[in-house]
Amino acid sequence: MAMEIAKFDIDSPRWDQSTFVGRLKHFFNITDPRTALVPEQELDRAKQLVDSCRAGSVPPGTSVEQLHYAKKLYDSAFHPDTGDKMNLIGRMSFQVPGGMAITGCMLQFYRTVPAVVFWQWVNQSFNALVNYTNRNAASPITLTQIGVAYVTATSTALATAVGLNLYTKKAPPLIARWVPFAAVAAANCVNIPMMRQQEILNSIAVTDENDNTLGHSRKAAIKGISQVVISRIAMAAPGMILLPILMERLESFPFMKLALYGSCCLLVVSTEMLHVCKQP
């Protein structure tokens, strides 16, 4: 056991990252929603254990499994570039409970303009905090740039949602249910590039498989940010396109009309299931 601990590289991926299954296990591990419930003191102890392992001074009696779990907590709560503890809402482990609740509310409360405005604002505030929390520390962004990105993305989402909401008043109900998805897609096209504008303006480092810097590239930054935008929209699509179809069918049944919040609860639960299934 001592020899195994001595050879243990805590920064080496637990699963083979050259395979899809290995990458899937890795991201399921660091986005596990249960880690969002771990007390702050335990997160701090996990960081201390990770730092000790990196320094080559693992406490006696520590098992490999304990090291793996400490690294899991560390990756879920601490920024990979700075090592600073991230706020709870901005962590990837909070995306399932936080995202599914907001998505469920956007899909349920879409009929009135005040409700559309409120939930789109909540969603964009949530997204802005997530993007800021997980920003590239090598490309710092000022508070002014953060504010401009937030206001621009929120305005885009609100303008799209309110405009389409008014435009679809006479359209079939299903069309109106898809308005939140259009607003989210439009906002993502603005929010992410604005939040990460420094990477486009100043370029990002390009490294080889051994993390040796080969140079800097704006083209790589644009490509990476574009892929993030597309993936964010694609991840939102199943829940925000398919669930309205399901709800449109279910609301015709009497049991859905018995409770005032029955359909909202079903949306939240269904969205949570889709969030779990779509996590990378």
Tens-digit pLDDT profile for residues 149-170: 888 888 888 888 888 877 777 7
Give burial (CB, 10 Å; 0-12/13-18/19+) of 70.
buried
Residues 133 and 252 in one domain: yes
Structural domain contains residue 82: no
- List b or e across 117-127, with b for residues whose CB sees 16 or more CB atoms inside 10 angstroms: bebbeebbebb
- pLDDT for 5 equals 67
Structural domain contains residue 109: yes
Indicate whether this model's pTM tops 0.85: no
Per-residue pLDDT of 171-202, as tens digits, reads 787 788 888 888 888 888 887 887 777 788 88
Give burial (CB, 10 Å; 0-12/13-18/19+) of 91.
buried
Q: What is the percent of the chain where pLDDT is above 70?
A: 85
Residues 176 and 149 in one domain: yes
Name the domain boundary from 77, 110, 128. 77
Q: Where are the alpha helices (DSSP H) in 78-142?
A: 95-108, 113-133
CB 193 within 8 A of CB 127: no
Per-residue pLDDT of 84-131, as tens digits, reads 888 888 888 888 888 888 888 887 787 788 888 898 889 888 887 887
> CB count, 10 Å around CB of 266?
19
Domain residues for the domain of 63 are: 2-77
Name the domain boundary from 47, 77, 107. 77
Residues 146 and 19 in one domain: no
- pLDDT for 257 equals 57
